[in-house]
């Protein structure tokens, strides 16, 4: 039995728990266009991220997701303004932009014309919903170390595992390569722009990336990644097929669950089938793959809480939608001020609990033993070329 | 332990096999050093031990390689991971995880070692390699020497019986290299690991070797006692050259042994004045570059702190110092393209930082740490033509420069197919096309064999003799002793020593070249000096002192 004090010791929360929590929040957000609820979801995600993110580089990315969210809203509204369409009888015209006549074969598309308040509001609700979904996924990415999450991936998917690891390791290094090569270009006095400059930078960078990917894949292999032992190829192929089918089912089911307009068959049933297939593949694969975990992230009380809070938020949104859809989707025609329905609000606020119920993330080594090497000095940048 | 049974390796499109009919056995517990020129097939030989050749590289392997009884034909590298540990030249390229502790555990996880055993082994390895206080550090925050030790530790935790290292010290400063090599010898002594290590700078490892594998480059491989192989190998460290010149048999391989043999020689050298290791630059020298109060910062870290530096025409200056001491930052700041937060540089009355890149490179040319960053065209001919056009030089000027630096490179060769040394020569030719007054080179000796380094030294002295100034940053003491007129040592962004080569490098034990260590306290630096002085007129130790410089 772990004492309450032991439970509060800083440690990493299981990445899967954060993903379930984030997908639950996203599922709740996808069921509503109520801006008050959506902003509430954003606020909850923001508070939890601020409270429980680590000091790792990827943990500073939440700001980027928020910015991308703003861009999404702007695009959504911008397009709706330009491609306004016909106005209903009692819509409120905000302003009118010049109407561009289009050739006959593009009938049905209208460019320019009057812009109504209803149109703008509906577009911004849609944009806000998309942005919120994006930020929920961003929150999961910020809270869970992508490489630790990858450890959950079964070793039966050997090639996929290598590919993803190489991609998430080498991609950030590409940025550094580009900086290095661009600086080196100056040494040659080449200030060319356009196509030739792209070639001059891309060629060395891509060569570099290819070399590194190859080296990393070779290193993973030399250290025993994907050891299979004596397994008949038939079993191996069956495992891979089951797992891939399971993953496809999981993706489709998740999509069906998030998008209320898809047939019900694409929702829970597909998700369940996906889970079943993936589980079968894991069991079959697990029989032969022998791997162990060094200091595995435990699945304990905080993980259950986190996952359950996410599931609760999603369930409440679905139930509330079935009982009273108008509260979740405030009226646009006629325009009405949105209200805050009690049940979904409580459920979303419940997703705030992990900010307190989970242990804090571990801090990096005390600064007294740190004799830092700047990661961006030319010497360090070149050291792994 | 490792058995090569008539092994022949042929890569696709290669006219001749890289290794031909290799037949040898490396017994358990041995430290075997693989020597040979660049491109002779050392890496192929090492890769064949754990099956990376041919499972990862392609090519055709005839014959059979067995390690601990396992045939690499039927066992891909991952199935040999519990027997063979591999450490590569670039430790960061092989890092799979983010933090030190996870990296140490990664190999064990793949081998399904029980969690309790893993915890214990990680702690033991942290102590064995002296990394305990860095355990939670992200790998990106470690120095190159620490990273290389992590890479060794990461394969050690799986308790392999064979350790294969491909040039593990080539990116390290002398002290970092010592640390890594000390670790390796300790493993051989304490744990009985069989070690196969490839290394260009033999002066660092040859004294620890039980046997040597010599890869001359024609596909054959010789295997035998260190002193016997080194007596005739083309690649040889200074200590061996000295031994050969003095006719010592058996050849001493450690400085300690050589000092004992050299007692008489040292006594005889009392009255001999050492000729200069590097021909002095011409008499009338003028300052070509003057840097004052240079400062470079990255965030809160000052990489270069208020450095003053002056260069005269005709001199080759070596810039030394441990990894991360600010050498590269200083070179980039001098060239003008890099970050410079303070101070000014004066080259003929102008500051390169204030000029466009095209004009700056006519004052100061820099060959960066990764020279291939500058090459992007498909053939050497195209690169040279572009270089002429960029520097508005006469057509064919850079071709002439390249032919002088490294003759025999054809126009239709792809730059990626050149050897390290040839690629360096190509980039140097490209930079020289602009006829800069000052030439800077950032660690050009990395990965070069003795011959290539010898040629590079000759080229640099020639460039200087034409009235230019050269700064070369390097960790290679032997290269410095044979090439540089002056040595500048940096630490923590400051210049801590600046003076004549002989004075600076003899005064510190870590930096002294082998000949200086053997003949201490006599101020001799290179074997060539002894040759020029005629100390051994007939290739045998002299009995009377009659030679004068």
* Phi, psi at B299, each rounded to 5°: 65, -125
Which of B93, B95, B473 is the mutation pick for testing A, counting most A CBs within 10 A? Answer: B93
Tell me the whole-structure pTM to 2 decimals: 0.79
Give mean pLDDT, residues A55-69.
82
In angstroms, the CA A209 to CA A214 distance is 8
Domain-embedded: residue A371: no
- Residue contact B52–A221, C-beta within 8 A: yes
- Residue contact A219–B360, C-beta within 8 A: no
In angstroms, the CA B80 to CA B83 distance is 5
Q: What is the pLDDT of residue A377?
A: 39
Q: What is the pLDDT of residue A191?
A: 67
Q: Please check the confidence at residue A380 and state whether its pLDDT lies above 60.
A: no
- Residue contact A377–B140, C-beta within 8 A: no
Nearest neighbour of A377 by CB, restricted to B133, B329, B443: B329
CB atoms within 10 A of CB A366: 9
In angstroms, the CA B66 to CA A276 distance is 43
The fraction of chain A above a pLDDT of 90, given in percent, is: 17
- Residue contact A189–B358, C-beta within 8 A: yes
**Closest CA–CA distance from residue B30 to any residue of chain A (Å):** 21
Q: What is the pLDDT of residue A270?
A: 86
Task: With beta carbons under 8 A apart, name residues in chain A contacting B56.
Answer: 214, 217-218, 221
Preceding omega of A308 cis (within 30 degrees of 0): no
pLDDT digits over B111-166, tens only?
A: 888 999 999 999 988 988 888 888 877 787 787 778 888 998 999 898 899 999 98
Nearest neighbour of A294 by CB, restricted to B80, B105, B140: B105
- Residue contact A223–B81, C-beta within 8 A: yes
User: Domain limits at A169?
Assistant: 156-225
CATH number of B2-235: 3.40.50.300
In angstroms, the CA A117 to CA B124 distance is 69
Residue where a domain terminates, one of A268, A290, A312: A290
A266 with A216, same domain: the answer is no
Task: With beta carbons under 8 A apart, name residues in chain A contacting B171.
Answer: 383
- Residue contact A221–B335, C-beta within 8 A: no
Q: What is the pLDDT of residue B239?
A: 92
Sign of CA dihedral A218, A221, A226, A228: positive
Q: What is the pLDDT of residue B544?
A: 37
Say if CB B233 and CB B214 are below 8 A apart: yes
Residues 6+ apart with CB under 8 A from A151: A293
**Closest CA–CA distance from residue A289 to any residue of chain B (Å):** 9
B2 bridge partner residues: B26, B67
Which of A294, A295, A381 is the mutation pick for testing B, counting most B CBs within 10 A? Answer: A294
Query: What angle separates helix B450-465 from helix B397-405, to the nearest 10 degrees?
Result: 130
In angstroms, the CA B253 to CA B206 distance is 6
**Closest CA–CA distance from residue B538 to any residue of chain A (Å):** 45
Give mean pLDDT, residues A44-58.
85
Distances (CA, A) of A108 to A117, A314, B248: 21, 37, 96
pLDDT category, A382, cuts 50, 70, 90? Answer: very low
A256 with A347, same domain: the answer is no
Q: Please check the confidence at residue A187 and state whether its pLDDT lies above 50.
A: yes
Q: What is the pLDDT of residue B537?
A: 58
Q: Please check the confidence at residue A375 and state whether its pLDDT lies above 80.
A: no
Nearest neighbour of A379 by CB, restricted to B93, B109, B327: B327
Strands (E), B176-325: 194-198, 211-214, 222-224, 287-298, 301-312, 316-320
Residues 279-298 of A with CB under 8 A from B: 290-296
- Residue contact A383–B97, C-beta within 8 A: no
Q: What is the pLDDT of residue A9?
A: 84
In angstroms, the CA B57 to CA A277 distance is 36
Q: Please check the confidence at residue A77 and state whether its pLDDT lies above 50.
A: yes
Share the mean pLDDT of chain A. 80
More confident residue, B412 or A93: B412
Say if CB A246 and CB A281 are below 8 A apart: yes
Lowest average pLDDT, out of A290-299, A357-366, B436-445, B494-503, goes to A357-366
Length of chain B as a residue count: 549
Task: With beta carbons under 8 A apart, name residues in chain B contacting A56.
Answer: 98, 138
Task: With beta carbons under 8 A apart, name residues in chain B contacting A218.
Answer: 52, 56, 77, 94
A378 touches chain B (CB under 8 A): yes
Domain-embedded: residue A366: no
- Spatial CA neighbour of A361 closest among A13, A21, A48: A13
Q: What is the pLDDT of residue B320?
A: 92
Say if CB A32 and CB A329 are below 8 A apart: yes
Which of A167, A223, A227, A375 is the mutation pick for testing B, counting most B CBs within 10 A? Answer: A223
CB-defined contacts A:B, below 8 A: 219
Q: What is the pLDDT of residue B283?
A: 62
A67 touches chain B (CB under 8 A): no
Nearest neighbour of A184 by CB, restricted to B76, B171, B368: B368
| Tokens matching residue A249 | 């089912």
| Tokens matching residue B360 | 């700056």
The fraction of chain A above a pLDDT of 70, given in percent, is: 85
Domain-embedded: residue A384: no
**Closest CA–CA distance from residue A53 to any residue of chain B (Å):** 16
B66 bridge partner residues: B3, B71
Task: With beta carbons under 8 A apart, name residues in chain B contacting A219.
Answer: 86, 88, 93-96
Nearest neighbour of A218 by CB, restricted to B52, B101, B361: B52
Residues 6+ apart with CB under 8 A from A302: A7, A13, A17, A354, A357, A358, A359
In angstroms, the CA B22 to CA A356 distance is 65
Please give the tally of structural domains in chain A. Answer: 3
Q: Tell me, what's the ipTM?
A: 0.85
A265 with A196, same domain: the answer is no
In angstroms, the CA B236 to CA A87 distance is 88
A25 with A130, same domain: the answer is yes
- Residue contact A187–B337, C-beta within 8 A: yes
| Tokens matching residue A271 | 């998700």
**Closest CA–CA distance from residue B269 to any residue of chain A (Å):** 41
A268 with A320, same domain: the answer is no
CATH number of B287-492: 3.40.50.300
Nearest neighbour of A186 by CB, restricted to B110, B155, B337: B337
CATH 3.40.50.300 domain span(s) along chain B: 2-235, 287-492
Nearest neighbour of A224 by CB, restricted to B111, B141, B443: B111
Residues 6+ apart with CB under 8 A from B497: B487, B488, B489, B504, B507
More confident residue, A153 or A76: A76
Can you give the three-state secondary structure of chain A, one letter per residue? CCCHHHHCCCCCCCHHHHHHHHHHHHHHHHCCCCHHHHHHHHHHHHHHHHHHCCCCHHHHCHHHHHHHHHHHHHHHHHHHHHCCCCCCCCCCEEEEEEEECCCHHHCCCCEEEEEEHHHHHHHHHHHHHHHHHHHHHHHHHHHCCHHHHHCCCCCCCHHHHHHHHHHHHHHHHHHHHHHHHHHHHHHCCCCCCCHHHHHHHHHHHHHHHHHHHHHHHHHHHHCCCCCCCCCCHHHHHHHHHHHHHHHHHHHHHHHHHHCCCCCHHHCHHHHHHHHHHHHHHHHHHHHHCCCCCCCCCCCCHHHHHHHHHHHHHHHHHHHHHHHCHHHHCCCCCCCCCCCCCHHHHHHHHHCCCHHHHCCCCCCCCCHHHCCCCCCCCHHHHHHCC
A141 with A162, same domain: the answer is no
- Residue contact B324–A377, C-beta within 8 A: yes
**Closest CA–CA distance from residue B133 to any residue of chain A (Å):** 7
* B139 → chain A, closest CA residue: A375
Task: With beta carbons under 8 A apart, name residues in chain A contacting B430.
Answer: 188
- Residue contact A294–B326, C-beta within 8 A: no
Which parts of chain B sit beneath pLDDT 70?
A: 281-284, 537-549
Type and span of the H or E element at B152: helix B144-156
Q: What is the pLDDT of residue A286?
A: 66
Domain-embedded: residue A48: yes
Q: Would you give the distance in Å from CA A251 to the centre of its chain?
A: 13
A207 touches chain B (CB under 8 A): yes
In angstroms, the CA B176 to CA B143 distance is 9
In angstroms, the CA A53 to CA B430 distance is 49
* Phi, psi at B166, each rounded to 5°: -105, 100
pLDDT category, A383, cuts 50, 70, 90? Answer: very low
In angstroms, the CA B127 to CA B105 distance is 15
* A56 → chain B, closest CA residue: B138
A91 with A209, same domain: the answer is no
pLDDT category, A364, cuts 50, 70, 90? Answer: low
Task: With beta carbons under 8 A apart, name residues in chain A contacting B148.
Answer: none
Nearest neighbour of B141 by CB, restricted to A147, A222, A373: A373
A280 with A304, same domain: the answer is no
Nearest neighbour of A189 by CB, restricted to B84, B96, B361: B361
In angstroms, the CA B74 to CA B79 distance is 9
Nearest neighbour of A373 by CB, restricted to B50, B118, B143: B143
Give the CA angle between residues A85, A87, A93 to the nearest 5°: 110
A80 with A120, same domain: the answer is yes
Domain-embedded: residue A368: no
A47 with A89, same domain: the answer is yes
CA dihedral angle for residue B28, residue B31, residue B32, residue B38, rounded to 10 degrees:
140
A160-168 contacts, C-beta under 8 A, 24 or more apart: A161/A225, A161/A226, A162/A217, A162/A220, A162/A221, A162/A225, A162/A226, A165/A216, A165/A220, A165/B96, A166/A213, A166/A216, A166/A217
- Residue contact B329–A190, C-beta within 8 A: no
- Spatial CA neighbour of B500 closest among B270, B312, B334, B327: B312
In angstroms, the CA B424 to CA B218 distance is 24
Say if CB B304 and CB B493 are below 8 A apart: yes
A166 with A141, same domain: the answer is no
Say if CB A181 and CB A55 are below 8 A apart: no
B100 Rama class: left (phi>0) / alpha (psi -120 to 50) / beta? alpha
A161 with A147, same domain: the answer is no
- Residue contact B430–A188, C-beta within 8 A: yes
B224 bridge partner residues: B212
In angstroms, the CA B159 to CA A127 distance is 56
- Residue contact B115–A181, C-beta within 8 A: no
* B301 → chain A, closest CA residue: A374
Domain-embedded: residue A332: yes
């Amino acid at each position: 039995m772990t004492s309450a004090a032991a439970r509060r010791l800083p440690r990493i929360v299981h990445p899967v728990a954060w993903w379930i929590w984030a997908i639950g929040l996203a599922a709740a957000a996808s069921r509503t266009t109520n801006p008050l609820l959506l902003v509430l979801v954003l606020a909850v995600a923001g508070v939890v991220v601020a409270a429980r993110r680590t000091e790792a580089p990827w943990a500073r990315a939440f700001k980027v997701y928020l910015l991308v969210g703003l861009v999404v809203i702007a695009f959504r509204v911008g397009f709706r303004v330009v491609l306004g369409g016909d106005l209903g009888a009692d819509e409120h015209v905000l302003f009118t932009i010049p109407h561009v006549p289009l050739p006959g074969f593009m009938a049905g598309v209208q460019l320019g014309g009057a812009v109504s308040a209803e149109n703008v509001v509906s577009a911004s609700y849609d944009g806000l919903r998309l942005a919120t979904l994006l930020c929920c996924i961003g929150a999961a990415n910020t809270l869970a170390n992508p490489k630790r999450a990858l450890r959950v991936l079964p070793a039966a998917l050997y090639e996929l595992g290598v590919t993803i690891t190489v991609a998430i390791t080498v991609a950030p290094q590409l940025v550094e390569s580009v900086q290095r090569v661009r600086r080196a270009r100056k040494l040659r006095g080449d200030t060319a722009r356009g196509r030739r400059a792209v070639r001059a930078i891309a060629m060395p960078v891509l060569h570099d990336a290819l070399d590194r990917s190859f080296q990393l894949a070779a290193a993973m292999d030399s250290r025993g990644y994907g050891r299979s032992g004596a397994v008949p190829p038939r079993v191996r192929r069956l495992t891979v097929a089951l797992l891939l089918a399971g993953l496809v089912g999981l993706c489709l089911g998740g999509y069906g669950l998030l998008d209320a307009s898809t047939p019900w068959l694409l929702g829970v049933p597909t998700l369940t089938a996906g889970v079943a297939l993936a589980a079968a593949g894991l069991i079959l694969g697990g029989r032969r793959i022998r791997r162990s975990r060094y200091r595995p992230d435990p699945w304990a009380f905080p993980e259950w809480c986190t996952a359950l809070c996410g599931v609760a938020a999603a369930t409440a949104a679905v139930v509330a939608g079935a009982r009273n859809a108008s509260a979740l989707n405030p009226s646009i025609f006629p325009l009405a001020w949105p209200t805050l329905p009690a049940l979904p609000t409580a459920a979303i606020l419940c997703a705030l609990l992990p900010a307190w119920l989970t242990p804090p993330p571990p801090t990096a080594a005390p600064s007294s033993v740190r004799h830092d090497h700047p990661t961006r000095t030319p010497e360090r940048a070149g050291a792994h070329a | 332990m490792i058995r090569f049974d008539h092994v022949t390796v042929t890569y696709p499109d290669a006219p001749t096999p890289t290794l031909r009919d290799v037949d040898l056995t490396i017994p358990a517990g041995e430290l075997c050093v693989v020597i040979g020129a660049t491109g002779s097939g050392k890496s192929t030989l090492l890769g064949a031990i754990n099956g990376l050749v041919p499972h990862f590289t392609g090519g055709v392997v005839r014959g059979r390689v067995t390690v601990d009884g396992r045939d690499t034909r039927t066992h891909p590298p991952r199935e040999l991971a519990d027997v063979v540990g591999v450490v590569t030249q670039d430790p960061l390229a092989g890092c799979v995880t983010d933090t030190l502790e996870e990296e140490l555990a990664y190999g064990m996880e793949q081998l399904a070692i029980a969690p309790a055993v893993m915890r214990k082994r990680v702690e033991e390895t942290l102590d064995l390699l002296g990394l305990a206080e860095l355990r939670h550090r992200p790998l990106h925050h470690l120095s190159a020497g620490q990273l290389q030790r992590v890479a060794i530790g990461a394969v050690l935790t799986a308790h392999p019986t064979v350790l294969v290292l491909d040039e593990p010290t080539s990116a390290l400063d002398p002290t970092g290299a010592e640390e890594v090599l000390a670790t390796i010898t300790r493993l051989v002594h304490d744990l009985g690991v069989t070690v196969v290590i490839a290394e260009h700078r033999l002066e660092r490892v040859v004294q620890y070797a039980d046997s040597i594998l010599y890869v001359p480059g024609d596909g054959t491989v010789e295997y035998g006692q260190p002193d016997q192989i080194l007596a005739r190998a083309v690649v040889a460290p200074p200590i061996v050259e000295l031994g050969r010149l003095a006719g010592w048999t058996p050849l001493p391989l450690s400085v300690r042994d050589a000092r004992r043999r050299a007692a008489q020689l040292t006594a005889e050298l009392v009255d001999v004045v050492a000729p200069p290791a590097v021909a002095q630059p011409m008499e009338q020298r003028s300052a070509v570059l003057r840097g004052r109060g240079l400062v470079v910062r990255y965030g809160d870290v000052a990489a270069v702190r208020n450095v003053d530096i002056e260069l005269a025409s005709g001199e080759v200056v070596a810039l030394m110092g441990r990894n991360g001491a600010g050498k590269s930052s200083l070179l980039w700041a001098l060239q003008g393209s890099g970050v410079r937060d303070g101070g000014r540089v004066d080259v003929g009355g102008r500051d390169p930082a204030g000029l466009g890149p095209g004009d700056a490179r006519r004052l100061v040319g820099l060959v960066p740490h990764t020279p291939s960053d500058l090459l992007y065209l498909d053939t050497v001919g195209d690169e040279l033509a572009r270089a002429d056009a960029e520097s508005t030089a006469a057509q064919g000027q850079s071709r002439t420069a390249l032919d002088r630096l490294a003759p025999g490179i054809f126009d239709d060769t792809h730059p990626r197919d050149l050897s390290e040394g040839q690629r360096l020569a190509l980039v140097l030719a490209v930079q020289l096309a602009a006829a800069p007054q000052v030439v800077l080179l950032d660690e050009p000796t990395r990965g070069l064999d003795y011959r290539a380094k010898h040629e590079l030294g000759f080229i640099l002295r020639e460039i200087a003799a034409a009235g230019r100034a050269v700064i070369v940053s390097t960790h290679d003491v032997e290269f410095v002793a044979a090439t540089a007129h002056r040595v500048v040592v940096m630490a923590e962004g400051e210049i801590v020593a600046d003076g004549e080569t002989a004075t600076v490098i003899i005064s510190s034990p870590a930096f002294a070249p082998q000949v200086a260590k053997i003949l201490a306290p006599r101020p001799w630096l290179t074997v060539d000096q002894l040759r020029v002085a005629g100390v051994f007129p007939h290739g045998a130790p002299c009995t009377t002192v009659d030679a004068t410089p």
